[in-house]
């Protein structure tokens, strides 16, 4: 999902009150926080679906190799 570019207010609307601008800043901060949390959820999914199984498979093969090697010596 593309991130929308921040809105630029036109020069004619520069007479807004400070309460409106602080509301816009609060809304923008909430949006940024929501996007950050979504990014964290996506990273968690990538870790649990791709990276952890890959390393689990790799470590399993390493243990199997060294386990077989240690039994052949004895």
What are the boundaries of each domain within the chain?
25-73
* Rg over CA atoms, the chain: 26
Q: What does pTM read for this prediction?
A: 0.50
pLDDT tens for residues 3-59?
665 565 544 455 555 566 777 888 999 999 999 999 999 999 999 999 999 999 999
Torsion region of 10: left, alpha or beta (phi above 0 gives left; psi -120 to 50 gives alpha): beta
Question: Alpha carbon of 41 to those of 4, 13, 30, 64: distances in Å?
Answer: 20, 37, 17, 33
């Amino acid at each position: 999902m593309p991130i929308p570019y921040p809105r630029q207010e036109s020069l004619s609307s520069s007479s807004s009150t400070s309460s409106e601008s602080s509301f816009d800043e609060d809304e923008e901060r909430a949006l940024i926080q929501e996007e950050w949390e979504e990014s964290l959820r996506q990273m968690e999914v990538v870790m649990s679906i791709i990276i952890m199984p890959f390393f689990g498979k790799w470590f399993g093969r390493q243990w199997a190799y060294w386990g077989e090697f240690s039994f052949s010596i004895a």
